[in-house]
């Protein structure tokens, strides 16, 4: 009898330890490739990011969303952005502009994104605003020409408003990286190119630098890291790709759910539909 009882207890313990050892959460990421966002994009985001370890739990969602609601109301009624800048004159009505609420910088809190494109090119702008917990004010994390391409590793790519140089089919752009300490996006480089098929010389009256184009692609690239335009240091596509990959790596583009800037749509913020 004692042997049978001992065997029964041993069996129960084994089953219990086995169940405990297998009771672990498995986290998977099935995110696929996504199309880059455009000025008319209304697709839902296909990339879901998990806040990094150490991010604080957000317990003031009402304050955050109320601040975003008030900022959008002020933009509609007074044509003023949250940073106090006056919005450009509309070419149609306010609903031609768009907004979104999404945690694009992956800090655990949603940001307010405003894409103001219903105006002349010179007045087009896209903002990313974050909420300052201490002051209750909105902080400008990024202001650029729309549309902005966000990556899920904190990188942002922004095409220039014009391409009137020697880049041909390559469109120049700015690249930013999110800085957690300043809670803002920092410019890491401006990129332009020279297509060999475009005639002319550079600012130093030099012809196309075929000696730099070691890969023989017919393109050389200019990577400007200090925010100043400089076409005196062209590089081969191999060096350009290495620089880009250092930032983009295997990051995915985030498709943001933009909505028309209307009273009806921003009222959803008050309804808590973003919580």
Q: What is the pLDDT of residues 150-202, one digit of tens each?
A: 999 999 999 999 888 999 999 999 999 999 999 999 999 999 999 999 999 99
Considering only CA atoms, which of 266, 43, 32 is closest in space to residue 147? 43
Return the pLDDT at 41: 36
Contact of 127 with 161, CB cutoff 8 Å: no
Q: For the chain, give the mean pLDDT.
A: 82
pLDDT of 27 higher than 70: no
Q: Give me the mean pLDDT over the 26-31 stretch.
A: 32
Which residues contact residue 156 at a Cβ distance below 8 angstroms, ignoring those fewer than 6 apart?
Answer: 142, 144, 148, 149, 150, 175, 176, 177, 178, 185
% of the chain at pLDDT higher than 90: 70
pLDDT of 138 higher than 50: yes
Q: What is the pLDDT of residues 59-115, one digit of tens each?
A: 778 899 999 999 999 999 999 999 999 998 998 899 999 999 999 999 999 999 999
Whole-angstrom distance, CA of residue 242 vs CA of residue 223:
11
Cis peptide before 218 (omega within 30 of 0): no
Please give the full DSSP string across 107-161, using - where no structure is assigned.
Answer: SSS-EEEEEE-SB-GGG-EEEEEEE-TTT--EEEEEEESSPEEEETTSEEEEE-S
Helix, strand, coil fractions of the chain, as percent rounded to 5? 25, 25, 50
Whole-angstrom distance, CA of residue 275 vs CA of residue 266:
14
Q: What is the pTM of this model?
A: 0.78
Is residue 248 within a helix (H) or strand (E), and if so which, with residue range?
helix 237-248
Which phi and psi (to 5°) does residue 7 adopt?
-65, -40
């Amino acid at each position: 009898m004692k042997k049978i009882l001992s065997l029964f207890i041993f069996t129960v313990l084994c089953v219990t330890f086995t169940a405990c050892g297998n009771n672990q959460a498995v986290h998977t990421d099935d995110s696929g490739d996504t199309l880059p966002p455009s000025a008319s994009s209304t697709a839902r985001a296909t990339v879901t990011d998990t806040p990094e370890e150490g991010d604080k739990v957000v317990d003031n969602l009402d304050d955050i969303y109320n601040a975003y609601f008030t900022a959008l109301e002020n933009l509609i009624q007074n044509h003023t952005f949250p940073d106090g800048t006056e919005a450009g004159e509309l070419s149609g009505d306010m609903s031609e502009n768009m907004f979104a609420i999404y945690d694009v910088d992956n800090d655990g809190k949603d940001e307010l994104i405003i894409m103001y494109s219903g105006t002349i090119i010179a007045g087009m702008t896209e903002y990313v605003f974050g909420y300052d917990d201490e002051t209750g004010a909105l902080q400008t994390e990024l202001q650029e020409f729309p549309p902005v391409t966000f990556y899920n590793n904190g990188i942002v790519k922004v095409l220039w408003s014009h391409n009137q140089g020697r880049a041909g089919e390559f469109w120049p752009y700015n690249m930013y990286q999110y800085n957690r300490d300043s809670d803002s996006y920092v410019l890491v480089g401006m990129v332009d190119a020279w297509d060999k098929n475009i005639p002319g010389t550079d600012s130093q009256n030099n012809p196309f630098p075929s000696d730099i184009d070691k890969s023989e692609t017919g393109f050389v690239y200019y990577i400007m890291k200090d925010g100043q335009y400089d076409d005196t240091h062209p590089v081969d596509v191999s060096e350009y790709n290495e620089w880009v990959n250092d930032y983009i790596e295997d990051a995915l583009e985030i498709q943001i759910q933009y909505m028309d800037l209307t009273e009806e749509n921003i009222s959803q913020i008050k309804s808590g539909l973003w919580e």
